[in-house]
Each structure stands twice: as structure tokens, then as C-alpha cells.
Structure 1
Amino acid sequence: MQKIKNKEENVLKKVLSIALALMMALSLLTACGNGTSSIPASTATSTAASTPDSTAQESSQFPREETFYFFSGMGVLPTSFNPLLGNGTEWPSGQMQYLLYEALFMMDMLSGELKPLIADSYEVLEDNSVKIVINEKAHFNDGTPLTAEDVKFSYDLGDKYDLQFSSYWDVLESVEVVDEHTVVLHQKANSVNTPVALDSMQMVPILPVSVWGPIVDEAGDDVSVVRAFDNLDNPVGSGPYKVYGFNDQGIYLERDDNYWGVERFGKLPAPKYIVQPIYKSNDLVSADLQNNKLDLAQAYMPSIWEMIEKNDKVGTYLSDAPYHLEGGMVAMVFNTSLPGLDDPEVRRAIAYGINYQQVAQLAVSGYSKDIVPLLALTDGVEDKYIDKDALADLMWSYDPDKCNELLDALGAEKGADGIRVLPDGTRMSWTLQTGYGWSDWNAAAEVISQNLKAVGVEIISDMPESAVFISNRQTGDFQLCLHIIGENPRPSQPWFRYKDALYSVGTPDFGTLAFSNFGRYSNAEYDALIEALPGINSDAELTEMHTEINRIFLEEAPLVPIMYRPFQFYEFNESYWTGFPTADNGSEVPPMLDRGAGIQFLYEIEPAGK
């Protein structure tokens, strides 16, 4: 299949203030375009991604009984398979997506354990260093052995350049090669944080020196040269699949039948091919799952119970509400440099004006329990050391009267158009960015807009294309945006979520890619607490510090949690493949394909009827 690079697109960024029903209607109209799950019935010599004549199931190129159709969020033609791009890294090259690039270990969100992947074992030594033993059979898909040198090289990239995993070098001093299959992660004596060191073992992609070494040599200290490598031609990784091809209809992976992981898993994954169709809207994803065109979707689908009632082949991890496992927190992030939004009292007033239950109901079909304004999940684990009673007076909830009271106290008077104006002349009108086609986030933005309009604050929903939105969020080119703070299960939660949300040390200026703290909030007291927390062991001190971190957050409100969401949505269709992990069938595999230990379910599923 000819690999077709993305053509330069004109990105239309316009202000959208539309009703939720109209937004959904427009999404359905998109179905008439090229956002279907069909793939071209073309051969490997095709020179264009033309409109397909047949559906994905009818294509002879990928036998249906060997092909797994899976959607996890691709909305545009991929332009790179470079795993070092950051949050804009495209499937299947992202962190914890172990189909192409693997890490040393994989996180199991059900057990909270790190399970072996490239590495067989690890041991925390007396000096807080971490000894890691690599599987001797591990190799890359070009046949090159995967050794300790590749591990050291991959880790060192994060020390040399500003990459998504560079923050691990806040605690790492060096990576030592002991022998061909053993490395040791040494921590800095003055900033020991073992949970973060362990985090790195599931997050750092292990890359071959043979491929990336020459690129680094050419780049020198210029990270832009490294990021410019698109890696589109036969990317080399150690995972179970290779990139077969891609076009404007989808990305196509083919199993590496020489995959070293037979040593790890006992067999090859069941699907010969994995196809990720490209969609412009979650509504189109829902339609294809309902119509048996998709095998698995990791996308928001409203009222999933209605689809299950219509099609008994469709299922979710939990058979009843809330249907999905809670695993993340969506927050509205303020650009704290802007007039008006730089005032904590303005931000707190806005927090009182949002109807969080309505957001959860209309945006994610009630798949979220009531949000609690804290920087930790209220799961009894992350919030274990937070004294909620001590923070009760600072916690906000939906209270439009309180919102109006705070705005009046600020001297924000309504103009002729009903929109408030602050005493310095700042009109309380801002845009809220979400990615186009991210229907749950788009809907949340519309609810927030309607809620705040009632108190005289104008929030205009802005929905650029996904790639543009992600870039804008990282560079700080937004007024307000949505973001999942502290994404990914990891040993260091909730500390990592605290750091991801608001820690300012090392955060680049606006205009430069950031991988956390997108609103560029800065508070020296908060930063000091984040740095000190990993060294605290007593329950009393932990309670004091966790509570203080959340007190600062509540007083300053640099972001507002609006809803919980699953770490990954998970909806399957058993028309062509069976054996998907559920809470009821005894599987111990997490409900996700391209995150952590969830990849194990490729070894459990079977073709239907087998």
C-alpha cells in the first residue's frame, strides 16, 4: 500500500456558539463525507487513497477473520510515526501504545502492578537505584537485538532533549549499563522519588540505537531535527506489529510473525492485521460499532445501553452503569496570563457557575459520578491523605447565586449585551478550545457556555482540528481549554497528577511546547510542596502536605475539574472476534488495547465461531 503523506491543510478556526442538538446534527452530516470506516480495496501498489468501492469487511486485502478493526482516536491522516513528538504523537507511536514501540514494563491498572514486557524483572536496591534485567530474546522488528545499550540510549534522549519523558531526569542521575542485558537507574541523592523512577519503566519507548543514533548525531543539541524525522518508512520497533501502510482512510498494521514476545506471552497475538480507521467524529465511530464494522472502540459513545439493547453483540467492561472504569479527570484549564483570567477570584467565580451534573449527563451520558473539586481521584486511594473537612469551605459546587455574588463583589457589571465587564475594562468573554469531533468534550463546552451565559460570562466554543487543538494546548495558544490532568495509571499517583496540573519549574514560556501545566500557572509554595512530597513517609505529614497542595489549588483555581471519565472508553462488538475482557468473564486483563497491560487481550480474543 502506498504511504500517502498528509497534504498541507487549511485549518479553519472560527467561533462556534451552537446548540448541542445542532452540533450533533452537523456531526451526522459529516458521515456523508470521507469519515467512514471503509478502507480502500486497493493493492500495495495503489498510488492514491481514492474513495473506497467496498466496506472494510468486503476488502479482500485484509481477510476479515484475521483483521481487527480498532478505533482509539485518529481523526487525521498521520504525518509521523516519530514517538518523540510528545502529546501530538500519532497512533501507534504514543506512550504506552505497545503495538509498535515497547517499554520495559507495562502498567496494569486493575492490579496497580508493573508487569514484565521487554524486561523480566526489576529490583530497588539499598541505595534507591533500580536494577533492571532485560529479556535475552528481545529484538527489534528488523532483527537487531535489543540490548542494554538501546535502553540507555533511549533514556538518555530524555536527558539530552526536552521530550515528553524528560521529567524523569528530575530524579534520575544516570543510566548504567552493567552488561548486555542489565541496566541500573541511579537516582539523584537529593531528589529520590522511587515511584517516579518506576513510572519511567512503563513510559520511555525503547528505540534502536542503529536507527536513531545517526539522527541524534546529525541533530546535535537541536531537538527540532529529532522531531522533524517523520519515521514514516518502515519504522523499527520491538512490538508485535509493523506498519503495513496508511492513507486518508486509516492506518494498517501487520503482525510481526518473528515477534520476540512469543517468549513473553507464549504465542503471537491473534489478529494478523489491525486496522485503525480515521474518523472525523465519535458519532461515526458509534455508527460503525453498531453496524458491526468495528471490533473495538476507545471513544465516547452516548447512551451505550441503547446500542447494547439494539445489538446484543455490543458490550462494555461493566454490564451496568457506569459501564466504564473511572480513571481520569477532565479539567477546564485557564490561560492564567490573560486579563481577567489572571485573577483567582474571577476563576473561582466561574467555577461556581458550572452545572457539573449537567456536564456529566449531557457530555458523557452520566458515565461520571459527581465531581469533587480536588486534584486527586476520590477512589479511596489517591485521596487517602486529603483532609476534606479542612477544605470544605473552599470547595466549590454549582451555585449560580454564589457565582453572581462573587462577580458583583469584583465590580463586574453587565453591559448592554448582558456580558459582564471588569473594572479594568476587560469584557468577560473568552473562547474554550476542544478538538473537533471530540463529541463528549464538545458537548461539555456547550453546557459550560450555556451555564455561564446565565451569569453574564460569555464562553465561546472553539473546535479546531485535533492536531491543531493539541498543538495549541501545548504551546499555550488558548484562552481556556479542556485537558485530562495526570493521564495514565502509574505508581506515582496522585503526586504525578499534582505535578502535571500545576507545577511550574521547567515549564517553558508560551509559544514553546509544554507537556504539562498548559496554563503556565506559577506558585512557589505549590512547587516547593511538590518537590518535598516524595520524601515524606509519616501519615501525619502526608496528610498535611496533600491537604495543603489542594488548599492552594482551591484558593487559586488555575483549573477547574469538570467531570471524571474512564481512563479509556471501551466498547466492543463480538460479531467477528470474541473473548473481550469484562468484569464478569474472569479475565484479568485491563479493558483497553493500546494502553499498558491491556495489550494482553490480543492473546485472549479469538475469531468468532472458532
Structure 2
Amino acid sequence: MKHRFSLLIVFMVSVILTACGPSPAPVGQPTTVQPAQAPTALTEASAPTQVAAPISADALPRKETLYFNGLQWGPVVGWNPYSNNNNNGMVIALQDSARVTMFETPYLYNMLDGKQYPLLADGDWTWNADRTEITFKIKSAARWSDGTPVTAEDVAYTWATHVKYETAVAAANRDYIETIEAVDPQTVVIKAKLDANGRAVNPLIVQAYLSTYYVIQKAWTQKLEERSGGDPTKLLADPAEDVVYSGPYGKFFADDTKVVLVRNDNYWGQDPSMWGKLPMPKYLAHVIFKDNAAGSTALAAGEVDVSQQFNSNVQDLWEKQNLPISTYLPEPPYHIGASLPTAFFNLKAAGLDQVCIRKAIAIAVDYSAIIANAMTNQSATFEQVPRSLMNPTPFEQALYNREAVAHLQWTGNDIEGAKKLLDDCGVVDTDGDGWREYNGQKLSYVATCPNGWSDWQAAIEIVAAAGKQIGIDITTNFPEWSVYQTVVTKSDTPLPAGYEIFMMWSAGAGPTQPWGRIRNLLSSEWIGMPSNWSGNWGQYSNPEVDELLKLIPHETDEARLKEMYTRLVEIYLTDVPSFTLMYRPQNFHTVNESIWTNFPHEGDGTNPPVPPLNLIDGWGIAGLYNLRLVEP
């Protein structure tokens, strides 16, 4: 990276000396899986016991500890992998790139190449000929923290438990997965739910299950069921302090000041069939900071190694303060964008049912100012990555024909173009008061987002300023989140006055993307829902879009998929039911190399490339195995 900071030169001699001796190969691609006997270090007799170490959580060895910020706000509630109420940011995150420090998924998703790589699984998963069943195997080396084998029965029982106790995981997947069955101790079959034509309802969602949701031990689950008496509320509320896990780290300490995980030195992943070694840090620690400012101060002081929070003007840390701090990319946008914070139009509001008015507002907005002010240049520009429905990752950008929609693009701050667009469709100022009218009514709107969401608020102010420059009166309002979310997610009635233009998020990178993101942005299936956390909050409806969204999950021809995605982008840029304001990173992956080095960065030579996901999410956890000490 270009800003590898002069400070590291001081340490070059020690690094060179270290390099003279043998060192583990960097983790970049899975070792070829060989049929293996369970390593003797992982037998049931050698199972690790709960650590009651002499080391204090207040005096962790600095050269054995990797410190984080931005993941844990407030004390941990629990360690229960069935619950979604743990507030356990270092351990539990069921997402497209699942957090796999303590609990593990069959596969790991890599946002950089769009592929799933085996973790607990042995080799690739496969569809049957009809694409109604997925089969995969569990590695024979995989072990729980109590030393017992991870089996196909654990996978099957995990799903059955989710269904039995109606967890959030079951709610998200039961319309797409019929059953998960153990064929033998190592073989798992996932049977998709079928539609009236005998096809899987949605193959993409079935595939995504493999890298999104944890495998939980059957024996421990049965203990949990027994002590909860079969009561779903009690089962989900159980803090699970005794949970058995398969990942490389377990609980060491947690209170209202910090969370510390400790490496399981008997972790099965050191087997040649997986990583072939243990992760470098003995401890993963997260101080619970009161706010972003405190976290940024700790990062600058070298008290945080990996920062997953927005650090305003992050480049100042190395350019002005000459600190050994860097980001995945050496130049703006510094991070890999994955999600698309979006301004939605209330399509029922007077005038906003007209494409020319929506597009005029959208092309007038100064996106460069949003990126510079709201994101302090930690977003790609729309000159760098033209707007579409795709995030900036190479995998998604390759899925549509950029040239085919180039004539529909805009980069923003086109005041004259917006005025001409309005003039040409007859939206003019007829009474000389400086504001345009439509059907005799002054165009006056409120742009809004939640109070305290500073980057969004800055963006909304810039949207409002654009309106005034083209004769549309746009004011701003910032209600508290508790009010805002109640209004915006109620899609069974028209949005009320004061929510004509409003911001919401979009999905990041994942195995169902970009289909899942487009579905969330444009599908009419969300209209009419009394509680809609999925998307299309402006209530856009287009039958062609709905049909394409039904077809894509079943399409396997890459050329046809590209045609479909290109058509969806064309419709989106033509109808403008909403518009992206910036690209936001999946993670704000910023690292301090005072203690540790060899973090993932662009061009680091790893293959598959290790994504900037703070070394604990999806394939990003491979980065833990590549770390080195600056001064061993």
C-alpha cells in the first residue's frame, strides 16, 4: 500500500531477520481437502476445559492480543446462537458473511469474488439434477470445543430446532427450505421447498443458508431444551454460558467495560484439511467505548488494532499524524463499498408520481459534496463507479452491461440539466414566487432521516439544497429513530406528509446479491405489509421488474443473467423510484500496525483474496492466520 508509513522502516531489520527463518505460508486458499483421521490433539480425552487462566482481562499480553472497536456497544447479553438478542458483537452476527470467531458455518462467503469456501464442510456443495436438493459433507476433522466430532446430525438438528422454536432463522428460511437431513454421519442434504411446478421456490436463498447460519451442537441443544422445558421464550432468553462451539475462540471475559475471547489451542482448524495452523492472536479483545470519538482516540493511540467504525477523515491519521494506520485501499475511497444508502421517493406524494420531477431532483444533487462531507471521501464516486443496482465489488460490476445504460447515467450537480428537464415537462414557476408548480400546486417536500445519523443527515441536507437550486422547495426534518422506523416500515398505507424523500439502507455483499438487493429496492411484494423491514418503502410497482425477480434465482446461464440484470438497471435508471446517495463499506476496516502487521489490503497476493471484513467475518477470518508481529 502507498501509505505504509515511514514509521515501519524502523522495524524492517527485525522483519527481515524473521523472514530468514521458516514461516507459515499465508492463508489465501483452502488446502486441498484430503480424507483425514481426526487429529489426536482433538480427541474427546483432550477436550479443552473452561479457561480459568492466571492472566487477567485487565492485563492481557499486548503481543498476544488483537484489539477491536466499533463492534460491541454496551455489555454482552448472552452467548446463545439460537437467539437474536445477545448484543454480542464479537461472536454472533448472522449475516451474508457470518461472524465465525466462536460459532461456524458450513461455508464462508467471500465478498470479493462472490464465492463460498468450505469451513466445516468438506469440499463444494452440489445441486441434484433438478436443483431441488443440495448435498455437502462435513469435514472428518471438525470438532466441537468439548472434543466430540461435528456431524451431519448436528446440522440437521440445528435446523429442526430453529423450526420447532420458531426462531428468526426459521422465519427467514422456512418458505424456502423444506428439511435438512443427515444421510450419514458426514453427509447433509438440504431439501428445498418446491413451488407448484416442482421447482425450488428460491435456489439462491437455499444456497445462502450455507454461509449465513451456524451449525450448533445437537447434544448441547438438547441440554438447552431440557432446562428451558421446551418453552421457546425461555430457550431464546437463555444466556448459554455453557455453550459448546466449534470455532477458534471462546469466551474468556465479559463485563460492561470489555469483551475478551481466548483461542482454543485444540481448535480443529489447525488440521491440514482446513487452515493447517492456529490463528495468530491468542486473545481477541474489545473495549466498550462510550462513542466513536473515544474509539478513534484509542485507534490513534495504538490501543486498537482493527477499527470497524467510521473514523472521519481517516487519511489524516497517516498523512498528518504520521501514524502506522492504514485502510484496505491506499487512496480514496479507502474501503470496498458494498451497500447503497438510498433516498426513496414517496411515490404517492403530489408531483413525485412524475418521473421528470424525480429525475430532476436526483440529477441536481451534488454527490461529490455528499461523499466529501458526509463520508469524508470514504465512498467511491459515481464517476469511479457509475450508478446501477450493483455495489462496487468486481463480482457484481461484472453482472451487467455498463455501456448499455451509459446514456441513462448521471453524476450529479447538473443544475441546468435538471431545470431543462422540468421545463420540458411543463413543471414551471407560473406565479413568479421562485417555486415550480405541478397541476397548480407548489412543489414542496420534506426530506428526512433519523436524528443523530450524522452522515445521513449531511446527505439529506445536500438533497434539500439541490431542490432549492432548481425551484423545488425541499426542507429537512430529523425525527428520532423510534418514530422514523415506525412510519417508514408501515407499507400497508400511504406514507404521511413529511416523508416525501427519506433515506433507508440497502443490502451489502452476499450470496444472494445483487438479486436480493434489487428485490429489496424494487419488488412490489413488500407493498401492503403492515411491518416492512425488507424494502421498496416508496411503494414502487412494475410488473416487468417482478417477473425478472422471479426468473433470476432459477437462471443458470451467465449471459442470460447479465441481460436480466442489465434490464433491471435500465428500468431503475429510467423510472428513478429511488436513488443511491453514496457507496458505504461493508466494514470500515482500518488497522493500526504498531503491534500487528500483514493485514488484508489491496494487492496483498492472497488467493482467494481476503476481504476487508475485520478478520472475523466470512472468508475475512483468513486474515487472522496471516498476521505477524511487527516486533516478534
Q: Give the TM-score range, shorter chain.
A: 0.7 to 0.9
- Tell me, yes or no, if the aligned pair for 1:340 and 1:428 is still in contact at 8 Å: no
CA distance in 1, matches of 2:163, 2:596: 43
Of the candidates 105, 108, 112, which is equivalent to residue 107 of structure 2?
105
- Partner residue, 1:115: 117
Of the candidates 413, 424, 445, which is equivalent to residue 428 of structure 1?
445
- Partner residue, 2:239: 231
- Partner residue, 2:157: 153
- Tell me, yes or no, if the aligned pair for 1:170 and 1:191 is still in contact at 8 Å: no
Deviation digits for residues 44-101 of structure 1 (CA, Å, limit 9, x no counterpart): 99xxxxxxxxxxxx97443323322112444444445555666996513112111122
- Partner residue, 2:268: 260
- Tell me, yes or no, if the aligned pair for 1:87 and 1:164 is still in contact at 8 Å: no
Say what the alpha-carbon RMSD is for the aligned residues.
Answer: 4.3
Matches within 5 A, 1:27-46: none
- Tell me, yes or no, if the aligned pair for 1:88 and 1:470 is still in contact at 8 Å: no
Give the gaps of 5 or more residues in structure 2.
1-50
1:440, distance to aligned residue in structure 2 (A): 4.0
Of the candidates 483, 490, 497, which is equivalent to residue 517 of structure 2?
497
- Tell me, yes or no, if the aligned pair for 1:270 and 1:606 is still in contact at 8 Å: yes
- 1:358 aligned to 2:358? no
1:511, distance to aligned residue in structure 2 (A): 3.3
1:190, distance to aligned residue in structure 2 (A): 1.7
- Partner residue, 1:546: 565
Percent identity of the aligned residues?
A: 29
Helix, strand or coil for the counterpart of 1:304? coil
- Partner residue, 2:387: 373
CA distance in 1, matches of 2:402, 2:392: 11
Change (3 A) 1:519 1:275: farther
1:217, distance to aligned residue in structure 2 (A): 9.6
Of the candidates 140, 158, 169, which is equivalent to residue 136 of structure 1?
140
Count the aligned residue pairs. Answer: 549
1:428, distance to aligned residue in structure 2 (A): 1.0
Of the candidates 50, 64, 67, which is equivalent to residue 65 of structure 2?
67
- Tell me, yes or no, if the aligned pair for 1:165 and 1:203 is still in contact at 8 Å: no
CA distance in 2, matches of 1:219, 1:415: 70
- Tell me, yes or no, if the aligned pair for 2:506 and 2:521 is still in contact at 8 Å: yes
Helix, strand or coil for the counterpart of 1:132? strand
1:560, distance to aligned residue in structure 2 (A): 1.3
Change (3 A) 1:547 1:318: closer
- Tell me, yes or no, if the aligned pair for 2:526 and 2:534 is still in contact at 8 Å: no
- Tell me, yes or no, if the aligned pair for 1:102 and 1:117 is still in contact at 8 Å: yes
- Tell me, yes or no, if the aligned pair for 2:137 and 2:188 is still in contact at 8 Å: yes
Helix, strand or coil for the counterpart of 2:285? strand
- Partner residue, 1:191: 200
- 1:277 aligned to 2:287? yes
Which region of structure 1 is more displaced relative to structure 2, 479-488 or 570-579?
A: 479-488
Of the candidates 285, 292, 298, which is equivalent to residue 308 of structure 2?
298
1:246, distance to aligned residue in structure 2 (A): 3.6
TM-score (norm 2): 0.73
CA distance in 2, matches of 1:522, 1:282: 39
1:120, distance to aligned residue in structure 2 (A): 1.7
Which region of structure 1 is more displaced relative to structure 2, 271-280 or 533-542?
A: 533-542
- Partner residue, 2:462: 447
1:200, distance to aligned residue in structure 2 (A): 1.9
Helix, strand or coil for the counterpart of 2:449? strand
Deviation digits for residues 379-424 of structure 1 (CA, Å, limit 9, x no counterpart): 6643445455554554444233454566676869799998888767
Helix, strand or coil for the counterpart of 2:268? coil
CA distance in 1, matches of 2:148, 2:351: 56
1:573, distance to aligned residue in structure 2 (A): 0.9
- Partner residue, 1:602: 624
CA distance in 2, matches of 1:353, 1:470: 27
Helix, strand or coil for the counterpart of 2:582? strand
- Report the residue type matching 1:373 in the other structure: R
- Tell me, yes or no, if the aligned pair for 2:114 and 2:395 is still in contact at 8 Å: no
- Tell me, yes or no, if the aligned pair for 1:433 and 1:481 is still in contact at 8 Å: no
CA distance in 2, matches of 1:404, 1:217: 68
CA distance in 2, matches of 1:499, 1:411: 32
CA distance in 2, matches of 1:157, 1:343: 49
1:599, distance to aligned residue in structure 2 (A): 1.0
- 1:182 aligned to 2:187? yes
CA distance in 1, matches of 2:83, 2:344: 22
Give the gaps of 5 or more residues in structure 1.
1-43, 46-57
- Report the residue type matching 2:517 in the other structure: R
CA distance in 2, matches of 1:260, 1:97: 18
1:361, distance to aligned residue in structure 2 (A): 2.0
- Report the residue type matching 1:448 in the other structure: V
Change (3 A) 1:142 1:537: closer
- Report the residue type matching 2:531 in the other structure: G
Change (3 A) 1:219 1:415: farther
- Partner residue, 2:11: none
- Partner residue, 2:93: 94
- Partner residue, 2:217: 208
Deviation digits for residues 564-589 of structure 1 (CA, Å, limit 9, x no counterpart): 23332221112222332233543443
- Report the residue type matching 1:488 in the other structure: A
- Partner residue, 1:510: 530
CA distance in 1, matches of 2:349, 2:124: 46
- Partner residue, 2:7: none
- Tell me, yes or no, if the aligned pair for 1:486 and 1:501 is still in contact at 8 Å: no
Helix, strand or coil for the counterpart of 2:318? helix
Matches within 5 A, 1:531-570: 531-537=550-556, 541-570=560-589
- Partner residue, 1:317: 328
Of the candidates 235, 240, 248, which is equivalent to residue 240 of structure 1?
248
- Partner residue, 1:574: 593
Helix, strand or coil for the counterpart of 2:214? coil
1:357, distance to aligned residue in structure 2 (A): 1.7
CA distance in 2, matches of 1:341, 1:559: 11
Change (3 A) 1:543 1:113: closer
CA distance in 2, matches of 1:170, 1:117: 26
- Report the residue type matching 1:146 in the other structure: V
1:334, distance to aligned residue in structure 2 (A): 4.6
1:183, distance to aligned residue in structure 2 (A): 0.3
Change (3 A) 1:504 1:196: same
- Partner residue, 2:298: 288
1:199, distance to aligned residue in structure 2 (A): 2.3
- Report the residue type matching 2:199 in the other structure: N
Change (3 A) 1:429 1:219: farther
CA distance in 2, matches of 1:209, 1:471: 38
CA distance in 2, matches of 1:121, 1:608: 35
Deviation digits for residues 341-368 of structure 1 (CA, Å, limit 9, x no counterpart): 6766654343233211221222233331
- Tell me, yes or no, if the aligned pair for 2:355 and 2:576 is still in contact at 8 Å: yes
- Tell me, yes or no, if the aligned pair for 1:351 and 1:397 is still in contact at 8 Å: no
CA distance in 2, matches of 1:220, 1:405: 69
Deviation digits for residues 215-263 of structure 1 (CA, Å, limit 9, x no counterpart): 789999998x389526364554332222344444343323334433333
- Partner residue, 1:12: none
CA distance in 2, matches of 1:391, 1:404: 22
CA distance in 1, matches of 2:248, 2:530: 39
Change (3 A) 1:518 1:543: same
CA distance in 1, matches of 2:576, 2:228: 40
- Report the residue type matching 1:62 in the other structure: L
CA distance in 2, matches of 1:144, 1:414: 79
Change (3 A) 1:329 1:67: same
Deviation digits for residues 545-601 of structure 1 (CA, Å, limit 9, x no counterpart): 223322332344333111223332221112222332233543443222232111122
1:521, distance to aligned residue in structure 2 (A): 4.5
Deviation digits for residues 88-143 of structure 1 (CA, Å, limit 9, x no counterpart): 96513112111122111112334443222111223424343321111234344455
1:471, distance to aligned residue in structure 2 (A): 8.4
TM-score (norm 1): 0.75
1:177, distance to aligned residue in structure 2 (A): 1.4
